[in-house]
Chain A
Amino acid sequence: MAQNVFEPWNDPAEKPLIQFKGVTKRFGEFVAIDNQTFDIYEREFFALLGPSGCGKTTMMRMLAGFETPTEGTILLGGQDMAPIPPNKRAINMMFQSYALFPHLSVWENIAFGLRRDNKPKAEIEARVAEMLKLTRLEQFAKRKPHQISGGQRQRVALARCLAKAPKLLLLDEPMGALDAKLRQATQFELMDIQEKTGTTFVIVTHDQEEAMTVASRVAVMDNGRIIQADTPARIYEMPNSVYVADFIGEVTIIPGKVHRRDKGYDVTFAEGQPTLYSEFDAEFDNGQTGYLALRPEKVAISAERPEGRTNAVQGKIIDIAYLGNLSTYHVVLPNGQKIKAQTANTRRLSRRDFTWEDTVWLSWTDTAAVLLKG
């Protein structure tokens, strides 16, 4: 593999910046974080992704120092963070509400953290000017937070927490308050700034597209646990569980009995239905229940049975989700199993080949599906 690929988590010589060691956080009876151990490396853009209440915000607040772990330790650069209060940590946080100080101007907001360190005036001025330039806010320096737009406020919040050049920057749903267009532009801006400054970013989000776009690694969380932490591509292509496969993107899950054959497994899922075959590197016992996870874009739809495909089933279209560029066909098999198939709308809508109630063939390659244990 090429040298310039950024994968410190695969390099045993690399020392992690952040280490969670057996961290548990309980609020009364409620377990917010359940015995988590993982590492975050320098210059990483690490995303914590999950539904609300999965513990991702608690994880971030423990890093910032607003919550203390009930059990376990969090290390920053090898140092235990437990005794260090939030104001003494080399970590800054960008709040979901931005938490800009309404009584201070944009300039004063950005200078706030620097002033606390009693830095010389000239140094503060130079640093604030640099931050204003980085976030393209020069002409708004004298404005108050309520005199600027939502997107500008977001950039002020970012500039303010970057100003102190923290070792680690925490972003709590940084784009939650922006509309879709602005959000996309801001995501790329954020990646750009992260690359320029070389800061380690940890972002909390419930938006999977956002996590996939910006992050070097995504940690998918559920009920206080990280289910899988991996690169966006591996999370999507090689989910380790039905939960992850289902959480990220669209997927069809077909449960069935598996039997070893050649380099993969046969999956029998229903009486009267053809046996499916998946070439997938996993350990299953013969007769064990497996879950075939199939991405809709990997399923082809055709009127005739395609030649030379092992995986081909016939069904009826019951629903079509038209997204403009794409259409997702919901096809139901005679046994009631539904399968989603997605095609790009390369032709005009009026020239569409298939419509509701049409009987069609669905097919996919031997390597298209992923076989999961649960």
Chain B
Amino acid sequence: MRRISWFNATSLTLGFAFLYLPMIILIIYSFNESKLVTVWAGFSTKWYGTLMSNQAFLDAALVTAKVALASSSIATVLGTMAALVLVRAGRFYGRTLFSGMIYAPLVMPEVITGLSLLLLFIGIGLDRGVFTIILAHTTFTMCFVSVVVSSRLVTFDRSLEEAALDLGCSPFDAFRLVTLPIIAPAVISGWLLAFTLSLDDLVIASFTAGPSSTTLPIKIWSAVRLGVSPEINALSTIMIGIVAAAVIAASLMTKRASLRQQADERAAVRA
């Protein structure tokens, strides 16, 4: 092993400190005994207890979960369909326009997306609530799914689908039995991306949410405006924990899959 030089060690430390120090401080203070966020008064888990008995936060968590699950699932279906058409349909009139329009929401300021959706919902007389947040989140997460899935489809061997057709599959069966299982990892990571985007969206949700449908980010934001409480720290720590667990699990799964593939290939060479 090469020894890490003094300069590299410093750069590494500074870089990681910049990224993670705020979060570490937040996590540490979530275990603070004191009600004052900035004064350390000893270790305690009592804020987690009070959090669990705070009905408003629990309601908001439920709304967020519902919205994230529903919108990411719809966005995955629509985004995958859009990716299929854009990658497969070849050159048709207005193709560039369509692909541009799919990817535009990626760079569109969220405030504008939120505002335009709000105007639309008011215009068509749709009462704002969980349903409108789901619609709004589907709209803006769909393009992320589409980007992830189409990058996989570009390298997908068309002859696999043709082989399925050749062996007697209807076009839908060919997609269901061959294409989908093969691109599944990309679809799943698209879904995960949409899910996390929906989970922590504040701007669009606050435009499209109604009085009865507060999501967790909105709740946290409004609570913080009245002053940061250790309860918020505890809640944030839980969210960091969930996201970290998901990321680690996903990377472990990928790692294991690639290791297994390598082992299989070595076995094939020996055979």
Interface residues of A (CB under 8 A from B): 64-66, 85-88, 91-93, 95-97, 99, 101-103, 112-113, 116-117, 140, 143-144, 146-149, 160-161, 164
Residues on B with C-beta less than 8 A from A95 are 159, 162-163
Quick one: given A99-B163, A101-B160, A101-B178, are A146 and B265 in contact (CB under 8 Å)? yes
Residues on B with C-beta less than 8 A from A86 are 162, 165-166
- Considering the chains assembled together, what is the distance between the CA atoms of A320 and B120 in angstroms? 82
Residues on B with C-beta less than 8 A from A143 are 268
| Cβ 8 A contact of A92, one of B167, B181, B268, B271 | B167
Residues on B with C-beta less than 8 A from A96 are 159
Cβ contact within 8 Å between B167 and A147: no
* Interface residues of B, count at CB 8 A: 25
Residues on A with C-beta less than 8 A from B167 are 87, 92, 112-113, 116, 160-161, 164
Shortest distance in angstroms between B6's beta carbon and chain A's nearest beta carbon?
45
Cβ contact within 8 Å between B264 and A87: no
B220-271 CB contacts (< 8 Å) to partner A: 261, 264-265, 267-269, 271
Say if the beta carbon of B173 comes within 8 Å of chain A: yes
Residues on B with C-beta less than 8 A from A66 are 162, 165
- Considering the chains assembled together, what is the distance between the CA atoms of A103 and B163 in angstroms? 14
Cβ contact within 8 Å between A99 and B268: no
Cβ contact within 8 Å between B169 and A116: yes
Residue of chain A at shortest CB distance from B167: A113
- Considering the chains assembled together, what is the distance between the CA atoms of A113 and B165 in angstroms? 9
Cβ contact within 8 Å between A147 and B168: no
B135-173 CB contacts (< 8 Å) to partner A: 157, 159-160, 162-171, 173
- Considering the chains assembled together, what is the distance between the CA atoms of A148 and B269 in angstroms? 7
Shortest distance in angstroms between B203's beta carbon and chain A's nearest beta carbon?
40
Shortest distance in angstroms between B141's beta carbon and chain A's nearest beta carbon?
27
| Cβ 8 A contact of A164, one of B162, B163, B168 | B168
| Cβ 8 A contact of A149, one of B159, B261, B271 | B271
Shortest distance in angstroms between A29's beta carbon and chain B's nearest beta carbon?
15
Quick one: given A101-B178, A116-B173, are A148 and B162 in contact (CB under 8 Å)? no
Cβ contact within 8 Å between A87 and B168: yes
Shortest distance in angstroms between B269's beta carbon and chain A's nearest beta carbon?
8
Say if the beta carbon of B61 comes within 8 Å of chain A: no
- Considering the chains assembled together, what is the distance between the CA atoms of A244 and B169 in angstroms? 40
Selected A-B contacts with CB under 8 Å, 28 pairs:
A64-B166, A65-B165, A66-B162, A85-B165, A86-B162, A86-B165, A87-B165, A87-B166, A92-B166, A93-B166, A95-B159, A97-B159, A99-B157, A99-B160, A99-B162, A99-B163, A103-B181, A103-B182, A116-B169, A143-B268, A146-B265, A147-B265, A147-B268, A147-B271, A149-B271, A161-B167, A164-B167, A164-B168
- Considering the chains assembled together, what is the distance between the CA atoms of A149 and B182 in angstroms? 21
| Cβ 8 A contact of A97, one of B157, B168, B173, B271 | B157
Shortest distance in angstroms between B260's beta carbon and chain A's nearest beta carbon?
10
Cβ contact within 8 Å between B160 and A148: no
| Cβ 8 A contact of A87, one of B157, B170, B267 | B170
Interface residues of B (CB under 8 A from A): 157, 159-160, 162-171, 173, 177-178, 181-182, 261, 264-265, 267-269, 271
Residues on A with C-beta less than 8 A from B264 are 144, 146-147
- Considering the chains assembled together, what is the distance between the CA atoms of A80 and B159 in angstroms? 25
Residue of chain B at shortest CB distance from A66: B162
A87-B166, A99-B160, A147-B268 are known contacts; what are 13 more A-B pairs with Cβ within 8 Å?
A64-B162, A65-B165, A66-B162, A87-B165, A92-B166, A93-B166, A95-B159, A113-B168, A116-B167, A140-B271, A148-B271, A161-B166, A161-B167
- Ranked 6 nearest A-B pairs via Cβ: A113-B167, A116-B168, A99-B163, A99-B159, A86-B165, A147-B264
| Cβ 8 A contact of A102, one of B170, B182, B268 | B182
Residue of chain A at shortest CB distance from B163: A99
Shortest distance in angstroms between A240's beta carbon and chain B's nearest beta carbon?
34
Residues on B with C-beta less than 8 A from A112 are 164, 167, 177
Cβ contact within 8 Å between A87 and B265: no
Shortest distance in angstroms between A174's beta carbon and chain B's nearest beta carbon?
13
Residues on A with C-beta less than 8 A from B164 are 101, 112
Residues on A with C-beta less than 8 A from B159 are 95-97, 99
Residues on A with C-beta less than 8 A from B265 are 146-147
- Considering the chains assembled together, what is the distance between the CA atoms of A108 and B146 in angstroms? 30
- Considering the chains assembled together, what is the distance between the CA atoms of A164 and B169 in angstroms? 13
Shortest distance in angstroms between A192's beta carbon and chain B's nearest beta carbon?
23
| Cβ 8 A contact of A117, one of B160, B168, B268 | B168
Residue of chain B at shortest CB distance from A95: B159
Cβ contact within 8 Å between A146 and B261: yes
Shortest distance in angstroms between B152's beta carbon and chain A's nearest beta carbon?
13
Cβ contact within 8 Å between B170 and A146: no
Residues on B with C-beta less than 8 A from A87 are 165-171
- Considering the chains assembled together, what is the distance between the CA atoms of A220 and B164 in angstroms? 30
Residues on A with C-beta less than 8 A from B163 are 93, 95, 99, 101, 160
| Cβ 8 A contact of B268, one of A85, A101, A148 | A148
- Considering the chains assembled together, what is the distance between the CA atoms of A112 and B271 in angstroms? 25
- Considering the chains assembled together, what is the distance between the CA atoms of A103 and B169 in angstroms? 17
Shortest distance in angstroms between B246's beta carbon and chain A's nearest beta carbon?
24
Residue of chain A at shortest CB distance from B174: A87
Cβ contact within 8 Å between B166 and A147: no
Residues on B with C-beta less than 8 A from A160 are 163, 167
- Considering the chains assembled together, what is the distance between the CA atoms of A247 and B5 in angstroms? 65
Residues on B with C-beta less than 8 A from A161 are 166-167
B162, B181, B264 — which one has the most chain A CB atoms within 10 A of its CB?
B162
